[in-house]
Chains A and B, each alone.
Chain A
Amino acid sequence: MAQDARGEVYDLLAARGVSRRDFLKYCGSVAALLGLSEMYAPQIAAAVESGAKLKPVLWIAQGLCTGCTESMAQSRTPDVPTVVLDILSVNYWETVMASAGSDALKAITETVDKGGYILIVEGSIMNGANGNTLRVGGRPGREDVKEAAKNADAIIAVGSCAVDGGWVKAAPNPAGATGVSEYLASVGISKPIINLPTCPVNPEWIVAMIVDVLLVGKLPALDSKGRPTLIYGSTIHDNCPRRGHFENGEFVEKFGTVEEKKQFCLYKVGCKGPQTYTNCPYVRWNDRVSWCVESGSPCIGCGNFNWVDNDAPFLTRTSNVKLPGIGGVAPSTVGAVLGGAAAVALGVHAVVSGTQGRVGKGGPPETEKAYDRKKAAKGGDK
């Protein structure tokens, strides 16, 4: 075993106030996240230690709000995910790296030339104006992604923006934003991509994926949309601690009420948990402190595809349907108008039927079909 490397890793950790014990404990929770038993913790630690030497990471930012970087970097204490990413020699991470300008960009080219690295993309690919809605280093920003994708061992799209364009892509999408998979496919690069949607991304998932790549040496099981099934395999609703209140029909009707205090189910105030596939309820957020529903907010479905257009307005049960010339209308309004119109039409029909003496018996029967009558009048084929 690379005793030196190991020592180096723990020195680095210690310098950031993370003890060896903390680290192993964290590796245990990563194991759990990966669906492995806690017995794998030492192996995961070893993978990270050796990976530190072997696997460089490129973190490329595109059209974004930097929220995913914030999610990784900002915490009360230097948390383990941040440190782990630090340890993995991150050769390029614009937002947090010290160097800038062409020096920094050279790191991309050098890493790509050597190959064998992990590419992480944050933010949407901005295709508007031929890619010029985002320019980096004097060329369309998306060129960096294309270049970096070429020799990557694994590509991880972090956050909804990198996955499918996220909020940047919400209608009317003037920047022509898309996700990494769609963009790479359009430039003829076909590589499996790990998609980690939510807005922002959960740091624990990134670390779990990196560890998976280091430990198993191949991509984790992905669903048809490139999401790791371990993370995105079931709905929030199916794992929600408020599910009992849902089944009992106990709902928060309005914020600021006693029902809210009692932590009733948030379905009627727009919770998108039933339509959203992530493991937020048990991995949770911010060093596992809490997560949206637990802290009292309905899930706004940020882990869904096309999530802004599909899930807004966030505090109503369904999204609106867009009707030409009218705009967004709640589905229940559309239904009620259709039903009401039909009832009125049938009412009018009944009244007219009454005046025509049809009610209860129908009109007098015809003796010959209109078609035959006309034909006969024309001389027909008789």
Chain B
Amino acid sequence: MSGHGHYREAHPLPLMLSHWSNLISMIVLVFTGFYIHFPFFAGFMGAARSLHFFFMYLLLVTITARIIMAFTVKDTNQMGTKDRDWDWKNWIPQAENRHQLIETAKYYLFMRKEHVISAKNGALQKIAYLATIPLTYAIAYAGFAIYTPAHQWGIWPFFEAGLTAVGGDMNMRIIHYFLMWAIILFTMIHVYLANIYGVAPTKLMFFWIETEDPHDRYHQ
């Protein structure tokens, strides 16, 4: 949140770049996805599909790289510090998040006044970020299942099984479409919560601009 400093150690360069890459991919995929779902102006289908088919691979590569980085990159795990530890601890609730899930929900629902003690990421935040990983793979799975060139791939039976399970291409397209809405809803809430208590986190995440706070443990 904002009552502390935001230092580059919180989001090392590779993580900042992967967030940019994901953001751009998502914007392009959502826009072209809406267009493929229902072409709302003329003359763009070829481009829309080509863009979709390029950025779907970029997204997959970046997400996979991001998972690897969780185990190979160290960043800060606590607020207002420059002490670094493995990044994966920012995705899985740690000691600081214990007993705080319900309290965090209460805080967001205005059922308590004080902000809760937490690690750099709150319990809900960690769960939400973690959920983006299976969500991305799920939408990719549904996408490849309706991607006719995939019929020629060796792993096609893996996608075909899903098509059979959901009852065919039409249903899979609708699932792909709804998964897009799941991602949109995540992003709406994510962007709102990342900024409502101050824009310092975004300044850091996007532009690597630090915000100092003299009260931080790091200064003491």
Interface residues of A, Cβ cutoff 8 Å to B: 224-225, 234-235, 238, 246-251, 267-268, 272, 274-276, 301, 304-306, 310-311, 317-319, 321, 331-332, 334-335, 338-339, 342-343, 346, 349-350, 352-353, 356, 358-366, 368-372
**Chain B: interface residue count, which band?**
35 or more
Q: Which of B45, B107, B114, B170 contacts A248 (CB 8 A)?
A: B45
Q: Which of A247, A360, A370 contacts B197 (CB 8 A)?
A: A360
B38 contacts partner chain A, Cβ-Cβ < 8 Å = yes
B74 contacts partner chain A, Cβ-Cβ < 8 Å = no
Measured between C-beta atoms, what is the minimum distance from A372 to chain B in Å? 8
With contacts A272-B170, A363-B114 taken as known, whether A249 is within 8 angstroms of B37 at the C-beta atoms is no
Q: In the complex, what residues of B have CB within 8 A of residue A321's CB? A: 174
B189 contacts partner chain A, Cβ-Cβ < 8 Å = yes
B160 contacts partner chain A, Cβ-Cβ < 8 Å = yes
A250 CA to B42 CA, complexed, in Å: 6
A255 CA to B42 CA, complexed, in Å: 17
Q: In the complex, what residues of B have CB within 8 A of residue A359's CB? A: 196-197
**Interface pair B189/A342, CB less than 8 Å apart:** yes
A318 CA to B176 CA, complexed, in Å: 12
24 A-B pairs with C-beta separation under 8 A: A247-B49, A248-B46, A249-B44, A249-B48, A268-B39, A275-B168, A275-B169, A310-B168, A318-B170, A318-B174, A321-B174, A335-B177, A335-B178, A338-B185, A349-B196, A350-B196, A359-B196, A363-B107, A363-B113, A363-B114, A364-B115, A368-B117, A369-B103, A370-B112
With contacts A306-B167, A361-B2, A366-B114 taken as known, whether A268 is within 8 angstroms of B197 at the C-beta atoms is no
Q: In the complex, what residues of A have CB within 8 A of residue B38's CB? A: 268, 317, 332
Residue in chain A with minimal CB distance to B109: A349
Supplied contacts A310-B171, A363-B107, 20 more A-B pairs, CB within 8 Å: A224-B160, A249-B43, A250-B43, A304-B168, A317-B37, A321-B174, A332-B37, A338-B181, A349-B192, A350-B196, A352-B110, A353-B196, A360-B2, A360-B198, A363-B113, A364-B113, A366-B117, A369-B116, A370-B103, A371-B99
B136 contacts partner chain A, Cβ-Cβ < 8 Å = no
Measured between C-beta atoms, what is the minimum distance from B3 to chain A in Å? 6
Task: Give the 7 A-B CB pairs with smallest separation, nearest first.
Answer: A371-B99, A275-B169, A362-B197, A247-B46, A366-B114, A249-B43, A249-B45
Q: Which of A225, A304, A358, A362 contacts B170 (CB 8 A)?
A: A304
**Interface pair B173/A369, CB less than 8 Å apart:** no
A353 CA to B110 CA, complexed, in Å: 8
**Interface pair B114/A364, CB less than 8 Å apart:** yes
Measured between C-beta atoms, what is the minimum distance from B98 to chain A in Å? 8
Q: In the complex, what residues of A have CB within 8 A of residue B178's CB? A: 331, 334-335
**Interface pair B177/A310, CB less than 8 Å apart:** no
A331 CA to B179 CA, complexed, in Å: 11
Residue in chain B with minimal CB distance to A337: B181
Q: Which of B46, B113, B174 contacts A331 (CB 8 A)?
A: B174
Residue in chain B with minimal CB distance to A346: B192
Measured between C-beta atoms, what is the minimum distance from B59 to chain A in Å? 20
A267 CA to B113 CA, complexed, in Å: 53
With contacts A234-B148, A311-B170, A334-B178 taken as known, whether A248 is within 8 angstroms of B192 at the C-beta atoms is no
B100 contacts partner chain A, Cβ-Cβ < 8 Å = yes
Mark out the residues of chain B between 154 and 210 whose CB falls within 8 Å of any chain A CB in the assembled complex. Answer: 157, 160, 164, 167-171, 173-174, 177-178, 180-181, 184-185, 188-189, 192, 196-198
With contacts A248-B45, A332-B38, A335-B178 taken as known, whether A365 is within 8 angstroms of B3 at the C-beta atoms is yes
Q: Which of B46, B48, B110, B116 contacts A366 (CB 8 A)?
A: B116
A37 CA to B105 CA, complexed, in Å: 69
Q: Which of B48, B173, B196 contacts A275 (CB 8 A)?
A: B173
Measured between C-beta atoms, what is the minimum distance from B164 to chain A in Å? 8
Residue in chain B with minimal CB distance to A366: B114
Q: Which of B3, B117, B184 contacts A369 (CB 8 A)?
A: B117
Q: In the complex, what residues of A have CB within 8 A of residue B41's CB? A: 249
Residue in chain A with minimal CB distance to B114: A366
Measured between C-beta atoms, what is the minimum distance from B102 to chain A in Å? 9
A275 CA to B146 CA, complexed, in Å: 8
Measured between C-beta atoms, what is the minimum distance from A215 to chain B in Å? 27
Q: Which of A358, A366, A368, A369 contacts B196 (CB 8 A)?
A: A358
Measured between C-beta atoms, what is the minimum distance from A140 to chain B in Å? 28
**Interface pair A362/B169, CB less than 8 Å apart:** no
**Interface pair A319/B197, CB less than 8 Å apart:** no
Q: Which of A268, A318, A358, A368 contacts B173 (CB 8 A)?
A: A318
B1 contacts partner chain A, Cβ-Cβ < 8 Å = yes
Q: Which of B115, B169, B188 has the most CB of A within 10 A?
A: B169
Q: Which of A248, A304, A334, A335 has the most CB of B within 10 A?
A: A335
**Interface pair A339/B1, CB less than 8 Å apart:** no
Q: In the complex, what residues of B have CB within 8 A of residue A366's CB? A: 114-117
Q: Which of B100, B110, B146 has the most CB of A within 10 A?
A: B110
A366 CA to B103 CA, complexed, in Å: 11
Q: In the complex, what residues of B have CB within 8 A of residue A276's CB? A: 169
A317 CA to B174 CA, complexed, in Å: 11
A335 CA to B179 CA, complexed, in Å: 10
**Interface pair A350/B198, CB less than 8 Å apart:** no
Measured between C-beta atoms, what is the minimum distance from B24 to chain A in Å? 21
Residue in chain A with minimal CB distance to B187: A342
Q: In the complex, what residues of A have CB within 8 A of residue B169's CB? A: 274-276, 304
